[in-house]
Structure formats: structure tokens, C-alpha cells
Amino acid sequence: MPCAYAMPMLMKWKILPASVTIGIGAALALVATVPAADAGGRRDEQDAARRAMLDGHVMPFSMIKRRVDAQMDGATYVGSEFNPGANRYRLKYVKDGKVVWVDADGRTGDIIGWAR
């Protein structure tokens, strides 16, 4: 049920100095443009990997990662890259403070190379 307040409520507007609002606007513009340029390349790579998987050229990434994880003796998975021209994945691991790159064939999931 609506009820009236005994005293009217007044809202007070606070005005920020122009320098603060300009600074906030500039920061938002910078944040909005920087990730967009960087995200495009990663997004294209993910789209290529998905297309290759749907077309039957590569196995699902989860299966490939599971196969490689089994060979990595407890190393920590960090990330991956997909090479659509060769249908290969490069997975990055860290073990004992050292980075290990593992190349896997996208068709079979077999490890085809290591780099430290």
C-alpha cells in the first residue's frame, strides 16, 4: 500500500569538478579501446579452432588437453595457442619454475614436440 511520508524527501545533487569527469571519461575511453584491439586476434584463433573441430579436421581441445596433461607429470597448465594452417595446438605448462611448451597434433592428439 502506498503511504505518504510525514516530511517531503529532498534529493541533493552533487556536482563533480570538470577535471574529475574529464579524467573518468578519458580512462573509460582508454579501457574500452585497448582490449578490443587485443581481443580480436585471440577471438579469431578460437573461431578457427572451433571451425576446424566442427569440420572434423581436429579433435575437441578438451580431449587433446587431457592427453597432454597425462604426460606432463603434474605440471601446471597455463594456456594454449592454435595454428590453423597446421592444425596444431601449442600448450604452455610450468613445472619447477620452468616454462614448457608442448606441440600436439590436432588430428590425433599426439605430442609432436617439446620446447623448454
pLDDT at 43: 86
- Among the listed residues 110, 66, 113, 74, the one whose alpha carbon sits nearest the alpha carbon of residue 94: 74
CA distance 108 to 77: 20
Convert the pLDDT of each residue in 22-35 to its tens digit: 545 555 554 444 44
Q: pTM (2 decimals)?
A: 0.62
pLDDT at 24: 55
CA distance 41 to 48: 11
pLDDT at 35: 47
Confidence of residue 11 (pLDDT cuts 50, 70, 90): low
Cβ 49 vs Cβ 91: under 8 Å = no
pLDDT at 20: 45
Which residues, 6+ apart, have CB-to-CB distance to 46 below 8 Å?
82
Share of the chain above pLDDT 70, in %: 66
Convert the pLDDT of each residue in 57-77 to its tens digit: 999 999 999 999 999 998 999
